[in-house]
């Protein structure tokens, strides 16, 4: 899934659309995201030149990467078999 937004955070609405949590740590708009196969981890890429791995069930970020030097419109990763 790819998307573009001016949001600096992600609101998660599982099930019937009730807000579960807001994932916020980016300092710039989020322009890409990718779920792992189980749907419990999420990778987001932002204009702030960082990518963040989120543990959606724990509602917290696990790791932040500052490896890219510009805008990312696609993200992919494999972390300890969580792809």
| Each residue's pLDDT tens digit, 7-26 | 778 777 777 778 888 888 98
Contact 4, 44 (CB under 8 A): no
Give the pLDDT confidence score for residue 34 in this predicted structure: 87
Ranges of the chain whose pLDDT falls below 50 = 1-4, 83
CA gyration radius for the chain?
12
Rounded to two decimals, the pTM is: 0.71
User: What 3-state DSSP class applies to 13?
Assistant: coil
Please give the Cα distance from 17 to 57 (Å, whole number): 16
């Amino acid at each position: 899934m790819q998307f573009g937004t001016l949001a600096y955070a992600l609101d998660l609405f599982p099930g019937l659309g009730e807000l579960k949590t807001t994932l916020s740590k980016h300092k710039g708009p989020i322009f890409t995201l990718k779920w792992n196969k189980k749907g419990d981890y999420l990778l987001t890429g932002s204009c702030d030149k960082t990518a963040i791995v989120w543990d959606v069930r724990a509602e917290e970020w696990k790791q932040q990467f500052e490896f890219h030097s510009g805008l990312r419109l696609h993200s992919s990763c494999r972390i300890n078999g969580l792809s």
